[in-house]
Amino acid sequence: MHSMENSQYTDLVKAALDARAMAYVPYSHYAVGAALLTEEGEIYRGGNIENASYGATNCAERTAIFKAVSEGRRRFAAIAIAGGMEGCEPVDYAWPCGICRQVMREFAGKDFRVLVARSASDYKEYLLEELLPCGFGGESIK
């Protein structure tokens, strides 16, 4: 874990907190927001999108990543994540699920950071490698 104040990261965390407003969560009522920073400095936001067939739900992180990749972006610097019950401020840090960690791994460089936030001023910073050690990647199947 790394903790350092960085204004670019503070903006990214705020974007993740804002993105919670767009989450579609009629079943769990747990609203997650993610904000993905491209290496060029753009931010792509995403919320979780649930489905009556629960397994078809898409997490906030993957919404943001798929939005960016589908717009031609593939080089990312960081992702911020915030989650909590709909209409309430986050109480705990929102950790990315295993599937989202694997999807991050696909597009992350060695330096890719994951920020888990409770508020704009209360967040923790990790390297993806810390959250997904010994991960499986495309280099293994070349």
Q: Please give the biggest Cα pair distance in the chain.
A: 46
> Exactly one of 12, 19, 60, 65 binds ligand THU (CB under 6 A); which one?
60
- What is the Rg, in whole angstroms, of the alpha carbon atoms belonging to the chain? 14
Distance (Å, rounded) from C-alpha 49 to C-alpha 84? 14
Query: What minimum distance in Å lies between the beta carbon of 61 and ligand THU?
Result: 6
Report the Cα 1 to chain-centroid distance in Å.
Answer: 16
Per the annotation, the verdict on 61 as an active-site residue is yes
Is residue 25 within the footprint of ligand THU (CB under 6 A)?
A: yes
What is the amino acid identity at position 96?
P
Is residue 32 within the footprint of ligand THU (CB under 6 A)?
A: yes
Query: What minimum distance in Å lies between the beta carbon of 31 and ligand THU?
Result: 8
Is residue 97 within the footprint of ligand THU (CB under 6 A)?
A: yes
Is residue 100 within the footprint of ligand THU (CB under 6 A)?
A: yes
Report the Cα 80 to chain-centroid distance in Å.
Answer: 5
Both tokens of residue 41? 């400095």
- Pick left, alpha or beta for residue 116 (phi over 0 → left; psi -120 to 50 → alpha; otherwise beta): beta
Is residue 28 within the footprint of ligand THU (CB under 6 A)?
A: yes
Is residue 96 within the footprint of ligand THU (CB under 6 A)?
A: yes
> Exactly one of 12, 35, 36, 61 binds ligand THU (CB under 6 A); which one?
61
Residues designated as active site: 61
